[in-house]
């Protein structure tokens, strides 16, 4: 973390877990155990149907709400889809874009990620853009090249002014939901490389100000060590964000003075 230059953001990704009726009990429990998160911003990204309840329940514990996806078009004949300004209208602030599960199961590509990033920024949402390599790609030694391409494509034609709103989440696919975390050094190295890509595209001042998260089996035990890396400015947390005590412990790890 480097709080002098950028925000630390701890974001939960509930994926396809938690019903609308689960939201308030979770928020009530979190409220009771989390110390005032003075130094970090907390976000819960929830399924679409949970969002109205989440905006309401998290309002008084200073937790922002995010969606897990959006459609790249502003409106129109796209049955079953959700547009950026519908989310904004609800009071949603963030949106996860290009999570590896969406790339793997729903055919999202770097190009569609770029379109969604533009749609989100246009509407005033803050995108949390996920990038990450598979185990095979890591073993081939192409991690940095691959992530460079993912970041460059995701940010194509995004202005310097708007890119400040983008959060990048480095999530090695082999670490997601597997209990296998990247070492702090491995994660720190890739996050540092991501910042270098942004520096090349937008210059040092903007690169310094961008929040880069790590995700992939981050939990209450390994959070402090990962967050101690200078280029890891937070986490995107799946499994551990479903349990208030575990999520609170990660927020507290990010909230040390």
- Has 29 been annotated as catalytic? no
- Has 99 been annotated as catalytic? yes
d(CA 170, CA 233) in angstroms, rounded, equals: 11
**Closest separation in Å from C-beta 85 to ligand PGA:** 25
Judged by beta carbon, residue 143 or residue 207, the one nearer ligand PGA is 143
d(CA 131, CA 110) in angstroms, rounded, equals: 9
d(CA 194, CA 55) in angstroms, rounded, equals: 31
- CA atoms within a 13 Å half-sphere pointing along the CA-CB vector of 2: 16
**Closest separation in Å from C-beta 180 to ligand PGA:** 9
Judged by beta carbon, residue 65 or residue 83, the one nearer ligand PGA is 65
- Angle between helix 184-202 and 143-154 (nearest 10): 40
Q: CB within 8 A of 59, min separation 6: which ones? A: none
**Closest separation in Å from C-beta 169 to ligand PGA:** 7
Q: Which two tokens stand for residue 162?
A: 């708007």
Q: CB within 8 A of 161, min separation 6: which ones? A: none
Q: Would you tell me which residues interact with ligand PGA (CB under 6 A)?
A: 13, 171, 176-177, 215-218, 236-240
Judged by beta carbon, residue 130 or residue 207, the one nearer ligand PGA is 130
**Closest separation in Å from C-beta 19 to ligand PGA:** 19
- The closest residue (CB) to ligand PGA is 238
200 close to 149: Cβ distance less than 8 angstroms? no
Q: Which of 99, 101, 118, 220 is catalytic?
A: 99
Judged by beta carbon, residue 133 or residue 171, the one nearer ligand PGA is 171
Just list the catalytic residues.
99, 171
């Amino acid at each position: 973390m480097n709080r002098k230059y950028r925000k630390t953001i701890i974001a939960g990704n509930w994926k396809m877990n938690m019903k609308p009726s689960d939201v308030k009990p979770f928020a009530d429990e979190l409220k009771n155990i989390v110390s005032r998160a003075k130094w970090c911003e907390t976000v819960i990204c929830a399924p679409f149907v949970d969002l109205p309840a989440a905006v309401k329940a998290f309002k008084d514990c200073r937790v922002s709400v995010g969606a897990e996806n959006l459609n790249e078009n502003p409106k129109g004949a796209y049955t079953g889809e959700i547009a950026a300004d519908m989310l904004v209208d609800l009071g949603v602030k963030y949106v996860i874009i290009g999570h590896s599960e969406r790339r793997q199961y729903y055919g999202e590509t770097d190009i569609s990620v770029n379109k969604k990033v533009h749609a989100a920024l246009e509407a005033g949402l803050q995108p949390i853009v996920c990038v990450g390599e598979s185990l095979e790609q890591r073993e081939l030694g192409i991690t940095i090249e691959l992530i460079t391409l993912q970041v460059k494509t995701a940010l194509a034609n995004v202005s310097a002014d708007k890119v400040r709103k983008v959060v990048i989440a480095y999530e090695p696919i082999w670490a997601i939901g597997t209990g296998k975390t990247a070492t702090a050094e491995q994660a720190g190295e890739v996050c540092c490389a991501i910042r270098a890509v942004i520096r090349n595209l937008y210059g040092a001042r903007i690169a310094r100000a961008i929040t880069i998260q790590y995700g992939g089996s981050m939990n209450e035990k390994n959070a402090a060590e990962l967050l101690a890396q200078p280029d890891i400015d937070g986490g995107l947390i799946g499994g551990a964000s479903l349990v208030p005590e575990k999520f609170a412990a990660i927020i507290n790890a990010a909230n040390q003075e």
